[in-house]
A = this chain, B = another copy of it.
Amino acid sequence: MTGPQDRNRRADAQRSRTSILEAAVHVLNADPEASVGAIATAAAVTRQTVYAHFPSRERLLVAVLDHLTEETVAAMDAADLDTGPAVDALLRLLEAGSRTAGRYPVLFQKLGSLPVHPHADQRRHVPIGDRLKRIIQRGQQAGEFDDQLSLDWLVAVTIKLGHAASEEAEAGRLSSVEATEALHVSLLRVFGAAAPR
């Protein structure tokens, strides 16, 4: 899940690195303004050790978000995306995404608007967008959706509506089921799907 571990790294360095990342996830989720020192303490490590692994606070942030993205993508891939109706696969994917995202709401909100190079932001969203694209394409080819709207636009719409549903549920304006239902209906409509049951 963490990719090929970096070459020639001593076991203790590896330990420190993951310690720091895990601590950062929790600390930053509790307080996105947390200092490097606070993260280091939570990781049972010195501030200088953090700087030995990450050149700056910002780069640590990026690493944390990449870490969470990997986790999310993994959860999505476990959700059986190539089976059954495309709408259902789509909802499963969104469900998997919002489930892991829901564990670190503060961080995932920060993910959207970070004083970070938007290039990195895009790199992070690509793998998720690809998976979405695959499903939508499958639905279009199966005649489940029409193809009046462009693929890229539908990907963007799906992500946004997924966020909207999560937020409405978290804000208590909709129950969890209501949110899923509203999302379901809205997606079907935007996709030009035959009205379901």
Contacts and interface: CB of A to CB of B under 8 A. Distances in A.
Main secondary structure of the interface of A (DSSP, over half): helix
Interface stretch (A10-18, A45-53, A76-84, A107-115): A107-115
Interface residues of A, number: 29
A32 B115 contact: yes
Contacts of A174: 150, 152-153
Copies in the complex: 2
Contacts of A157: 161, 164, 186
A88 interface: no
Interface string A73-95: 00000000000000000000000
By CB atoms of chain B within 10 A, which of A153, A160, A189, A190 has the most? A153
A149 to B, nearest CB: 6
Nearest to A156: B164
Interface string A13-52: 0000000000000000000110000000000000000000
Nearest to A163: B160
Interface in A159-174: 160-161, 163-164, 167-168, 173-174
